Structure 1
Amino acid sequence: MGREFWNAVEENPIIAAVKCMDDLEQCCKLEDIRVVFILFGDICSIGDIVKKIKAAGKLAMVHVDLIVGLSPREIAIEYLKNNTDADGIITTKPALIKKAKELSLYTVLRYFLLDSMAYENIFTQQHTVHPDFIEVLPGAMPKVIQKLCSEIKVPVIAGGLIIDKESVMGALSAGATAVSSTNHNVWKL
């Protein structure tokens, strides 16, 4: 697992997830935020977005599924590696995780836990895909997170609906290594 990514999450388990330029500006001013999940942008702007995050001394993780103009194929990962200073990727696509690992990028495999079938998918894929972290959404489900953390070896990030100190503490107490949130107040906890 990527030590720098792990160390940054250990230093501060709150990850800023940014969905617009205002979010980006706000999180870059917060010294304690160490990792930023980029949830917006396009093929023309992603390099500059990453550059701002890196200039603020933070790790930049690009959610490749949400970047306009990037295809959901391995070539998109090569593009990010060759044309930005991104530290890693977030995706729901296992094939993109494999490619990113080959290119020595940090990886987060995102799962939407909509039902028990989605939950079981994590176990099926954990033996073929080896992300640095998995992110589960919604993250405000302490019982589910606790069960998941006890059954898999990959560290868990809880994201989605993390809106206050109670939801942060609930996820972390349940065993999540970190939380990601778009909520500016959560970033300041």
Structure 2
Amino acid sequence: MAYNRSTAAMPMPMMTLEVTVVSGDGVRVPSGRPLCHGAYAVVHTASSSAPTRVDDDADCHGFPYWAEAVRVALPAGAPALDVEICRARGGGGVGGRAEPVAAARVPVEDFTVGPPGHLHCLSYRLFDSGCCGVRRRNGIVNITVKRLDGAPPAAVGKAAVPPAAGKKAVDAAGPSGSRVSCSGAAAVEGKPAAPAGAVMGYPLGC
């Protein structure tokens, strides 16, 4: 049987995701002190990575806040994506020397329920980065994930933040263990409700 080279060379289909890294809770640097300045997050997949801005609060005391959406491409069959919290050193911002602080793995099955466009509000336990193989808990990261199936590859990278998503407007991701949907949390706090189809998420590793 002849080997079909053209079929073997076909690229794997990609899923485009819009990931909003909302905030971190109780994140500490390797010395044990709260993360206080230069905090930013990076969303990693097997084929792409995208960073958020650096939190402009000079003293966030372990609770950095971004509420920034980025777009990444996820290859078909990939089991998860990763969200990493870093600290920019030397005043160079995201492009400067980066110190990995903590990371969380987000399984694909947590945000593929429902059709494209559903907003999944999720919180995950963070674990220390680069700790000689020892997994130590290091706070929580709050995110939202939305599938943008069919979006052009050029869309991967920075994503526009909706005009209504001002400071703390997307805190509806909630703290770990809250088990509150985006719309429910927004209503309680008197904020604009999340788009229809918001899906509650449950943190892992609690």
| TM-score band w.r.t. shorter chain | under 0.3
Structure possessing the higher radius of gyration over alpha carbons: 2
Query: TM-score scaled by structure 1?
Result: 0.26
Higher helix share goes to which structure?
A: 1
